[in-house]
Amino acid sequence: MTAQRQRVAIVTGAGSAHGIGFAAARLLGAGGSRVVITSTTDRIFERVTELRADGIRAEGVVADLTDAAGADTVVACASDSFGGLDILVNNAGMTSVSDHSFAPGAIDGLSLDDWRASLDRNLTTSFLMTRAVAGPMQAAGYGRIVNVSSVSGPVAAYAGDVAYHAAKAGVVGLTRATAIDMASAGVTVNAVAPGWIDTASASAYERVLGAATPVGRSGTADEVAHAIAFLAGEGASYITGQLITVDGANSISEERGR
């Protein structure tokens, strides 16, 4: 990866040691960026300690990014600690370890409250963080925003979780609309769509599905992180409003169950 020349990166949803967010923060930091990472619990400070042990300048923030005040707190940390921000990786989503109310459901079994909670967790977080960084990035004339969507919603679906699919499809719409709004200011906005990725939260069933992809295995958090780092880099200056799928060709295979 091309060094980021002391850029400042915010990476949300980086609390898991084996997740996409932390892998992205570690890779951006190794490339020279100073990093602010967030999660909903104090475990984020364990990740900060690990990054610092690798020589990466890092700060951590515990924040609820479904609330505008939480997003503002994260941006303020980047400004106060490192003098500004250049890169935003919107990875927060899926389930929260501090929120035990998560309940996926099919269209005929999902409550309105659970629908709203999933959209808040998986879409509103990206909206609020993007809105919070838009002003500073446009004023600086530079920015890289990378949203972590999913193949689930934009290009494929599985049974029993309509809200998650709707939210992740919404992330792509947010990406494209924001890319248009911010293009003239030197800010690019792109998304990555992971498929079956073998993180700590992956179930045994998901690993079976990963083994059935054309590549023959689940992906890794680091493999997704490399796609994020490319889009966050200096060389991706003419790529904006795009979705990169990281799924081992699973979403394009026509010969299922061979």
Residues classed as catalytic: 164
How buried is 81 (Cβ within 10 angstroms: 0-12 exposed, 13-18 middle, 19+ buried)?
Answer: middle
What is the phi/psi pair of residue 31, to 5°?
Answer: -85, 0
The whole-angstrom separation of Cα 41 and Cα 92 is 12
Give the sign of the dihedral formed by CA 235, CA 239, CA 240, CA 241: negative
Q: Residue length, the chain?
A: 258
CA distance 146 to 50: 23
Pick the closest to residue 201 from 11, 9, 22, 27 (CA basis): 22
Residue type, 161: D
Distance separating alpha carbons of residues 30 and 63, to the nearest angstrom: 24
